[in-house]
Structure 1
Amino acid sequence: MAYKIITSQCISCNLCLSVCPTNAIKVVDGQHWIDPELCTNCVGSIHTVPQCKAGCPTCNGCVNQSSDYWEGWFANYNRVVAKLTNKQDYWENWFQCYSQKYAEQLQKRQHHAVAAEA
């Protein structure tokens, strides 16, 4: 899957222009964009990772865009819902709650053990 979108987080530093081995990144009217016909995702080159992504100082200037409409739609939906609700992952919440309660129980047992020894 080729990197097809340069996001609004792009700071126009032009580093991607100089590192792209296929010259797929273009600037038109001050806006950067990736030509999907030229972008190979750096596959078949000497690079092991896409150079636009690796060289981007914002780390989010170049992003994957799915060629499957529904896959892309659900990925965007899930990302937006996560930002809007600002909710943590279920398992992350569970782990934090469990580890906190476990730490409290451990402290109580250690306190009882110290009190019993004295």
Structure 2
Amino acid sequence: MTYKITSKCISCKLCLSACPTGAVKIVDGRHWIDPNLCTNCDNTTYSVPQCAAGCPTCDGCVKERGDYWESWFTTYNKLITKLTKKEEYWDNWFNLYSQKFSEQIQKRQTSKV
């Protein structure tokens, strides 16, 4: 997901020199971020995108929204990779909720009798 320049940009040109990949361009007098060059500053020495970090308006450079489901699956996949024992996690989750579900069924059956 790349970044984009919004209408809140004050044309201070700080993002031009801050971008390590040179993705920020001025086209027809307006700032623009080339999505083919923007890497979100991944695989660089920076931990945050420099266009957003250096923006004095804090809203002049924002993440460009993509497809909702693409974003959802990206977040989901990041969370899943953090699980160290995936099979054990899902087994425990199933056992816990199936046990609670069966307890609820038993309570309903005993209350009807």
TM-score, normalising length from structure 2?
0.59
1:29 is aligned to 28
Partner of 1:2: 2
Match of 1:47 in 2: 46
Aligned length: 71
- How do 1:10-89 residues align onto structure 2 when only pairs under 5 Å count? 10-68=9-67
Letter of the 1:28 partner, please give it.
Answer: V
Q: CA RMSD in A?
A: 1.8
SS in 1 for 2:21: coil
Any unmatched runs of 5+ in structure 1? 73-118
* Alpha-carbon separation, structure 2, partners of 1:61 and 1:71: 24
CA separation in 2, counterparts of 1:67 and 1:7? 15
Deviation of 1:71 (Å):
8.1
For residues 19 and 13 of structure 2, the distance between their equivalents in structure 1, rounded to whole angstroms, comes to: 10
In 2, Cα distance between equivalents of 1:71 and 1:6? 21
Unmatched runs of 5 consecutive residues or more in structure 2: 72-113
Provide the rounded CA distance (Å) in 1 between the counterparts of 2:64 and 2:37: 15
Query: Deviation above 3 Å: which 4+ runs of structure 1?
Result: 69-72
> What does the per-residue CA deviation read over 1:45-89, in whole Å, with 9 as the maximum and x for residues that have no partner?
0000000000000000111112206789xxxxxxxxxxxxxxxxx
% of aligned pairs identical?
Answer: 68
